[in-house]
Amino acid sequence: MKIDRRDFFATLGGAAVVAAMTHEARADALEHYLMGAAASGAAKPFPTAAQIEAQIETRPTRRGVGNLFVSAQGNVKHLQPLPEKPTLQDYFKLRFTRTSNHCLQSANRAMKTGMSEEIILACLLHDTVQELIKVDHAYWGAQMYEPYVSPKVAFAIRYHQALRFYDDKENGYEYPDLYRNVFGVDYQPEPYIREAWEMAKKHQWYYESRMVTVNDLYAFEPNVNPQLEQFTDIIGRHFKQPSEGLGYDHSPAAHMWRSISFPDHPL
């Protein structure tokens, strides 16, 4: 079923509200909208990339902004401080509030289908950096996690963004309608995305990254709330928590963690 983007946005309170939503929240809203459209028999077309482009100046923020920096509704709220030596779990509980359910669902599906622990961890982490920034999120995410996970997990995170744009039916991945709505039906990924896909599909860790995209497809379920504790052992085995706390170990990514910890610092 196709939808009218403007009509869909209007039902959510406007383009600025939609821009501030996580993609799981957007998917939930889309599902409700489609259910309503199905009931009324009104099937609307996917927007074009030009129509999406035309929306840019209708919003106060850009679409690539991180969740922590823009409120989904009304003003932003005070954030609870993180402990002195914050762990990954602390960030999940206190900062990854708008990405965690989607990531937990994705990791849960990887676990239930018997995937490797590294794939499960990559799924668990794959979109969490969207709290900091959404544009090119997989590259930011891989960089943020690189000091703490295996190169294979970082690869799986880095390339899932490019692989999302390309079918791989053999491995159970089909280009999602969500992207037809969010990017436009005729959207063509930029050359760097195509080049990343060309490289990744010949790589020894292609499967790991592809599986992040496969689990992504099934991770927008309403009323499914896997718990982080389910992954405690996998985090313990595959995530190197720095003893100083994430943000204070002087790693090349420490500033990214601090920015998530203190998004209200003006400089």
Q: How far is the CB of 124 from Fe ion (least distance, A)?
A: 11
Question: For Fe ion, how many residues bind (rule: CB under 5 A)?
Answer: 2
Give the pair of three-digit tokens for residue 256. Answer: 């990214």
**Contact pattern from residue 147 through residue 176 relative to Fe ion, giving x for each residue in contact according to CB under 5 A and a dash for the rest:** ------------------------------
Chosen residue from 28, 118, 127, 146 binding Fe ion by CB under 5 A: 127
HSE-up (13 A, CA, CB side) for residue 126: 38
Q: Which is nearer to Fe ion, 215 or 251 (CB)?
A: 215
The CA dihedral of 125, 129, 61, 181, to the nearest 10 degrees, is -30
Q: Which two tokens stand for residue 237?
A: 């085995």
Indicate whether 24 belongs to the interface with Fe ion (CB under 5 A). no
Binding range to Fe ion, per CB under 5 A, among 110-118, 121-129, 147-155, 234-242: 121-129
| Residues paired with 173 in a beta bridge | 168
- Position 114: which residue type? G
Segment interacting with Fe ion (CB under 5 A) among 59-67, 120-128, 147-155, 240-248: 120-128
* Cα torsion angle, 173, 133, 65, 195, sign: negative
Q: How far is the CB of 133 from Fe ion (least distance, A)?
A: 12
Q: How far apart are CA 225 and CA 229, in angstroms?
A: 12
Q: Is there binding between residue 131 and Fe ion (CB under 5 A)?
A: no
Q: Does 216 help bind Fe ion (rule: CB under 5 A)?
A: yes
Least distance from C-beta 161 to Fe ion, angstroms?
Answer: 6
Q: How far is the CB of 56 from Fe ion (least distance, A)?
A: 21
Cα distance between residue 59 and residue 214, in whole Å: 31
> By C-beta, is 208 or 216 nearer to Fe ion?
216
With respect to Fe ion, which residue has the nearer C-beta, 127 or 245?
Answer: 127
238 contacts 117 by C-beta, under 8 angstroms? yes
CA 64 to chain centre: 12
Q: For 79, which DSSP code? A: P
Binding site for Fe ion (CB under 5 A): 127, 216
